[in-house]
Chain A
Amino acid sequence: MPSRRRVAITGLGLVTPLGNSVEETWRALLEGRSAIAPISGFDPSGFPVRIAAEVKNFSYAPPPPYRKLLKYAARHVRFALAAATQAIEDCGQSPRPDNATRWGCVAGSGMMANNFDDLVRFQRCFAANGRLATRLLFDPAAGMPDPIAYARNQPNAGVALMAQRFGIRGYTGAVHTACASGGQAIGRGLRLIRRGSADMVLAGGFDSMVNPIGLAAFSLLGALSDCNDTPSRASRPFDRTRNGFVLGEGAGFMVLEEWESARQRGARIYAELAGDGNSLSSYRITDSHPSGDGPIQAMREALRDANAQPDEVGYINAHGTSTIMNDRSECAAVNAVFGLHARRVQVSSTKSLMGHLIAGAGAVEAVICALAIHHSTLPFSANLEHPDPQCDLNFVRDRPVQCRLGLAMSNSFGFGGSNNSLVFRNPEDVRQ
């Protein structure tokens, strides 16, 4: 039987609250700089939570033939286009007419597809007094939101615009499984290459819920930290004093490539994307199962998929949101999957510095795992002074750790019970 196609990660791109490139984000992570600050994108006065991790000093200007794409691109889609551009440039290849159908694009997105400003305009124009005034819909005097608003608010706007921008003509898909979206999108990319549906896949995730509806939604759920006076300390996954997560925004993309062709062209391979595991907890909408049920199956499946044993994993980039429920459930799951090795495997949550990027989180953290392998450096969990006794793992605290990694794992768990784990392998360890 022919051996299974392997998948190389050959291009990376990031737009995060910590920086608008891979280098800036990575440097800020290692220096432990927090991106969490008072919200500046809108006036959060009156909200119980007034802090977030916003992308800063961001602009995206496509080359002139593609300028019109901006018309359809909301802010979070621009994050995606910018991060995807970095990933494509980094891999040194881009789709050509003769191979465009062998390129795919999968993106996790859409926890909130509707652009807040468009919703506000719609409401102001057609339902100012709370009742829908249909007769105003086509009355220009009412200040109709432009017809493009519809296109701008489609959950698949991101993949559609990326496919246009880069000339990708193969498999495309938009994945939405709440906070597991980014990880599941990358996992989909792995499967596409393995089964021969594509040779190269632009895969990642993007999101922004840093807007009044997103902030209101998570505030009402009581899921956010309200440490408004100490924003850089607000996100403290696994610490016994943690009191919720911090909203972030941004995008992470990677170029996945069939291993042998990447090798033959001499591509820089950051890591092998070796395993993908998904599960659905089938438990509750927003609660994690205290036993870790759900995440356990995702992690085991990812390891099985990578033909790996738990004790080969050197680092876990935890979902680690900084909510009591997630952190305890995730630690229970790690203990269940890793057994005695749970005492040794090093764990950190980079959400401590950049907040929670929602549908983009899994993708950004997958990029971080690839970087951790590439640089033999583990980013640390900030603000972890007093670990919760129920979170008894070997955390990377206070400073990064230099450490050659064989395997790394990234976890992403979402509302609704969707779970994803990805396993990455050091390219030096790949034996065909």
Chain B
Amino acid sequence: MPVAISQEDIESVFPQVARIVAEALARDPSEIRPTSRLFADLEAESIDLLDIVFRLEREFDIQIPRGRIIEDARGDLPEAEFEHNGVLTAAGLERLRQYMTEVPPENFRPQMNLADVPSLFTVETMCKMVLRAKRAGA
């Protein structure tokens, strides 16, 4: 289940995460805000997300299992009730909304494809990914 992450926690890793995101996307670090969406705002490609995750793993000496966000968000909800044929159910969408509190609620669209979840990711999502991986590895 989600572990509480405070604003201070986020701020403690944000500068490093922002630098890595800026490097991976060849952007000026000043453009990177916690609320910046990787795809819509920073024009990432799918391969860039992989690149960012690898860079974060190296930077923080952590392991970020692929697909962890989805698994953590689903929690104890059975898979069949979370998604159906790759489309999030209403319950699944609600779980995701509760888990990804950094994402504005209106961005969670009904009938959303599981494969489109990364489009929700913000820089803060990456910060939380790092913090959770650090705690898991600690």
Contact = CB atoms under 8 A, between A and B. Distances in A.
A16 B57 CA distance: 39
B28 to A, nearest CB: 8
Given A140-B58, A140-B61, A140-B63, A147 B26 contact: no
A146 B26 CA distance: 15
Contact of B51 (A67, A140, A143, A146): A146
28 contacts: A67-B26, A67-B27, A68-B25, A68-B26, A68-B48, A70-B26, A71-B26, A71-B51, A139-B63, A140-B54, A140-B57, A140-B58, A140-B61, A140-B62, A140-B63, A141-B61, A143-B58, A144-B54, A144-B58, A146-B51, A146-B54, A146-B55, A147-B47, A147-B50, A147-B51, A148-B47, A148-B51, A151-B47
Contacts of A140: 54, 57-58, 61-63
B24 interface: yes
Interface of A: 67-68, 70-71, 139-141, 143-144, 146-148, 151
Contacts of B25: 68
B66 to A, nearest CB: 9
Contacts of A146: 51, 54-55
A67 to B, nearest CB: 4
Contacts of B62: 140
- Most chain B beta-carbon contacts within 10 A, residue among A67, A68, A151: A68
Nearest to B63: A140
- Most chain A beta-carbon contacts within 10 A, residue among B27, B47, B55: B47
A146 B59 CA distance: 12
Contacts of A151: 47
Interface residues of B, number: 15
Nearest to B23: A71
Contacts, number: 30
Q: Which label, helix, strand, loop or mixed, suits the secondary structure of the B interface? A: helix
Interface in B26-76: 26-27, 47-48, 50-51, 54-55, 57-58, 61-63
A142 to B, nearest CB: 10
A161 to B, nearest CB: 13
Nearest to B56: A140
Given A140-B62, A147-B51, 17 more contacts: A67-B27, A68-B26, A68-B48, A71-B24, A140-B61, A140-B63, A141-B61, A143-B58, A144-B54, A146-B51, A146-B54, A146-B55, A147-B47, A147-B54, A148-B47, A148-B51, A151-B47
A70 B62 CA distance: 27
Contacts of B24: 71
A68 B63 CA distance: 25
Nearest to A143: B58
Contacts of B47: 147-148, 151
A151 B50 CA distance: 12
Contacts of A144: 54, 58
A144 B59 CA distance: 12
Contacts of B63: 139-140
A146 B54 CA distance: 7
Nearest to A69: B26
B53 to A, nearest CB: 9
Contacts of B54: 140, 144, 146-147
B67 to A, nearest CB: 13
A139 B54 CA distance: 10
A147 B57 CA distance: 13
A148 B52 CA distance: 10
A67 B63 CA distance: 28
Contacts of A147: 47, 50-51, 54
Nearest to A139: B63
Nearest to A147: B50
- Most chain B beta-carbon contacts within 10 A, residue among A67, A139, A147: A147
A136 B50 CA distance: 17
Contacts of A141: 61
A148 B24 CA distance: 10
A71 B25 CA distance: 9
A38 B46 CA distance: 42
A163 to B, nearest CB: 15
Interface in B1-39: 24-27
A60 B75 CA distance: 48
A320 B114 CA distance: 59
A81 B25 CA distance: 19
A137 to B, nearest CB: 12
A139 B50 CA distance: 14
